[in-house]
Structure 1
C-alpha cells in the first residue's frame, strides 16, 4: 500500500512539476487552432470554394501534420525539444500571416498545410518526453491531461471564435487570435524552464538523497525511457514492430479518422443546413466543452480498468452518432439533430481523450521510443489525413450525408478492431 501510494504521489508530482512546460503550451496552441478550425470552410467558401473544395482546405491541416511527423522527429532529436518548438512557433506564425492575407484558395491551403507541419513538432516533442518520464501506473492520466489540453482548445477556441466573429463581423479575426496564441507559446517555450533539464535535475537530486523520485526505476513496467544500447532507424523500427502497427496501429488510425472527420463534417454540416458561422462555432464549442469535461475520467478508466474500456465505447458512440446524423439533413428539425448529435460525438471523443497517446507509449520499445512514436503517429495520422480527403471526395461524388455515413462506418469498424486487438497487445494493467 505504501509503495503504491508513493508511486502515485511521485507521478502526480511529475504532472504538477511539468505543467508550465508541457500542458500550458499545448493548451495555448490548441486554443488558437480550435478557433480557426470551425471557420476554415467558411473562409474557403468566401474565396470561391465549393463544399468539396472547402473540405479539402480543412484537410490540409491534418495532411500537414502527417507529412511533418518524420521531419519533426528528426528536428526534436537533433535540435532538442526547446529549440524545435521555438522554430515551429516562428514557422507557424509565417503560416498564420499567409493564411490571413491569402488572396486565393491555393495560398490558404498551403498556409494551413504549413501550420499542420508545425503542429507535428509540438505533438512529438511532448509525447516522447511523457513516455520517458511518467510511470506506467499513472501514464494514462498524465497523457489524458495532454489530451485534455487539446480539448481545452476545442472548447474555448470555437467559443472565442464565435465571440470574435460577432464582435468584428470578420471570419479572419480568428486567424489573428491564433497568431497571438502562437506568440504566447513561443515565449513560454523560449523562456520557461526546459522540461528535460528539470527531469534530469530531479533525478540527480533524488539519487543524491537516496530517494526514488518516481522518474527512473519505479518498479512499474515503463516502456519508455532514456534510450540505451543500439538504436534502430525509423524504417527498421517499423519493420521490427510491423505486427502491432498493422493491427493496433490501424485501429488507432480509424479512431484518428473519426476524430478529424468530425472536424471537417460538423462545420460543413452546419453550413449546409443554413446555420451562420457564429452558430456553428457555438455548437462545436459546446461539444468541445463536453469533451473537455471527460478527459481526466478517461485517464482514470484506462489506468484502473484497461485501455479497452475507453477506446471501444468511444468508437462505437461516435460511429453511431455520425450514422444517425447522416439521416437528418432533410428533416425540418435538422438544426436540433445537429446540435444533439454534435454533443454525442463530443462525449465519444472525450471518452477517448489521451487514448492514442497512451497506446503509443505503452507499445513503444525502450531503446527506440522516438522512432516508434514517429511510426505510430504516422500510421494513426494517416487515418486522420485520409478522413477529410474521403469526406471531400464522397461529398463531390455523392452528398455530404453519404460522406457522414461513411465516417460513421469507420467508427463502428474501429470499435470492433479495438475490441479484438487491445486485449491481445495490452493486457489488463497490474
Structure 2
C-alpha cells in the first residue's frame, strides 16, 4: 500500500512539474524570439543597420550569458521555486517595458535587463526537475524541456507575426507580458514540493552536500559540454535571429509569411529533440559521439544547398532538415551532466553548461549581422555551417562515458 501510494505521488509530482516547466519554457521562448519577428519594424522605426539590429538581440544574450552561473548558484542556495517565479515575473515586466522604448539606448538597456531576469530561470528549472523526478524521469524531462524550447521558438513567429501586423510591435510586447504574469501565478500555486532525496539521487552517488561546487566547475565532461553547446547553439540562435529578416528582405515574403516559414523548422526541431532523446536512451547512452557527430555533420552539409536555394520554399525545407538533424544531437550534448550531477549541484553545473550555450546567443547575432552587412546573407549562414562542424569536432574527441564527480570530501575541505 505504501509503495503504491509513493509511486502515485512520484508520477503526479513528475507530471505536474514537467507540465509547468514545459509551459513556462514555451512562454520563455515566445518572449525571446518575438524580438526577431519585430526586428524589421523596430529597425525601420529607429533607423538601425543590420549590425545594430544584431546588437539589440545580443544585448539580451550578453546579460543572459553573464547571469547563468550566478543563477545556477542561487538556485542551489535559495531553492528552485522562489527563483522560478521571480524570474518569470521580472522578465514579463521588462517585456512590457520594451513596448515603451523611445529609442535604441533604452531598448538596449531593457533587453539587457530582460536577459538578467531570464538568466535566473534555466538553473532553477533544472534544479526543480532534479528535485521532483526520479533518475529515469530526469532524462525524459530534460528531453521534454529542450523540445519545449523549440516549440516556443516555433510558436513565437506564428503568434507574434499576426499580432505585430494587427496591433503593432509595441502592443504585442504588452500582450505577451500579460500572459507571462498569468503563467507565473500558476507556477507559484501549482508547483509541487520536492520528492524525498532517496527517490531522486543516482544509486551509489556520494552525499551531495559533501561534493564541492568547485569540482563541478573543474569536471572535464561539464566543461566540454559547455564548449560543445556554445558551437552547437550558434545554429539555433542564428536561425531564430536572422531567418525572418532574410525571408522578408531577400525572398520578398510578407512578415506573416516569413513568420510561418520560420516557425516550421522550429516545430520540427522539437520532434527531433524528442527522437534524439529516445535514440540516446535506447542505443547511444554509452557513447553519445556515435549519434552526435554524424547528426551534426549532416546538419552542416545541408546548410550548403540551403544557402544556394532560390525559392523560399526550398530554403525552408532544407533549413528544416538541417535543424532536425542538429536536434538529434542535443540530448547527447546537454543531457549527460544532468544524469551524473547530484541534485544539490544541478543548478551550478547546468549554469556552467548553459553559459557555454548562451555564448552563442551573444556571438551569432552580431557575427551574422556583420557578415550580412559586409558580404551578404550567404556568408552569414555559412558561418553556421562552420560552427556546427566545430561542435561535431569537439564531440569526436570527447569521451563522455561513465564520467563522475569523484568521491566526496569533508565539508571543511570543500572550498577550492
- Fold shared by both chains (TM-score > 0.5): yes
The residue correspondences of 1:210-225 to structure 2 (distance < 5 A) are 215-216=199-200, 219=203
How far is 1:145 from its partner? 0.6
1:298 and 2:276 matched? yes
How far is 1:191 from its partner? 1.9
Give the match for residue 207 of structure 1: none
1:172 and 2:150 matched? no
Give the match for residue 337 of structure 2: 360
1:425 and 2:400 matched? yes
How far is 1:254 from its partner? 0.9
Q: State the distance in 1 between where 2:132 and 2:85 align.
A: 22
Higher mean C-alpha deviation, range 115-124 or range 18-27: 18-27
1:403 and 2:387 matched? no
Equivalences, count: 394
Give the match for residue 227 of structure 1: 208
Give the match for residue 147 of structure 1: 146
Give the match for residue 265 of structure 1: 242
Gaps of 5+ in 2: 1-6, 404-416
Give the match for residue 410 of structure 2: none
Q: State the distance in 2 between where 1:82 and 1:9 align.
A: 22
Q: TM-score when scaled to structure 2?
A: 0.83
Could you say if the C-alpha distance between residues 342 and 180 of structure 1 is closer, same or farther in structure 2, counting changes exceeding 3 Å? farther
Corresponding residue to 2:195 among 199, 217, 230: 199
Give the match for residue 189 of structure 1: 187
The residue correspondences of 1:44-123 to structure 2 (distance < 5 A) are 44-123=43-122
Q: State the distance in 2 between where 1:65 and 1:77 align.
A: 18
Give the match for residue 265 of structure 2: 287
Corresponding residue to 2:296 among 289, 305, 315: 315
Q: Deviations over 1:112-158 (max 9, x none)?
A: 22222222212111112334554444543221111122222122221
CA contact (8 A) 1:259 1:349 kept: no
Q: State the distance in 2 between where 1:82 and 1:30 align.
A: 20
Could you say if the C-alpha distance between residues 355 and 165 of structure 1 is closer, same or farther in structure 2, counting changes exceeding 3 Å? farther
CA contact (8 A) 2:123 2:346 kept: no
Q: State the distance in 1 between where 2:207 and 2:55 align.
A: 40
Could you say if the C-alpha distance between residues 14 and 317 of structure 1 is closer, same or farther in structure 2, counting changes exceeding 3 Å? farther
Could you say if the C-alpha distance between residues 360 and 257 of structure 1 is closer, same or farther in structure 2, counting changes exceeding 3 Å? farther
Could you say if the C-alpha distance between residues 348 and 237 of structure 1 is closer, same or farther in structure 2, counting changes exceeding 3 Å? same
How far is 1:251 from its partner? 1.8
The residue correspondences of 1:231-242 to structure 2 (distance < 5 A) are 231-233=212-214, 237-238=216-217, 240-241=218-219
Could you say if the C-alpha distance between residues 85 and 247 of structure 1 is closer, same or farther in structure 2, counting changes exceeding 3 Å? closer
SS at match of 1:257: helix
Q: State the distance in 1 between where 2:291 and 2:300 align.
A: 14
SS at match of 1:326: helix
Higher mean C-alpha deviation, range 24-33 or range 257-266: 24-33
Q: State the distance in 1 between where 2:88 and 2:135 align.
A: 31
Q: Deviations over 1:142-193 (max 9, x none)?
A: 211111222221222211123323433x233431232023112311222223
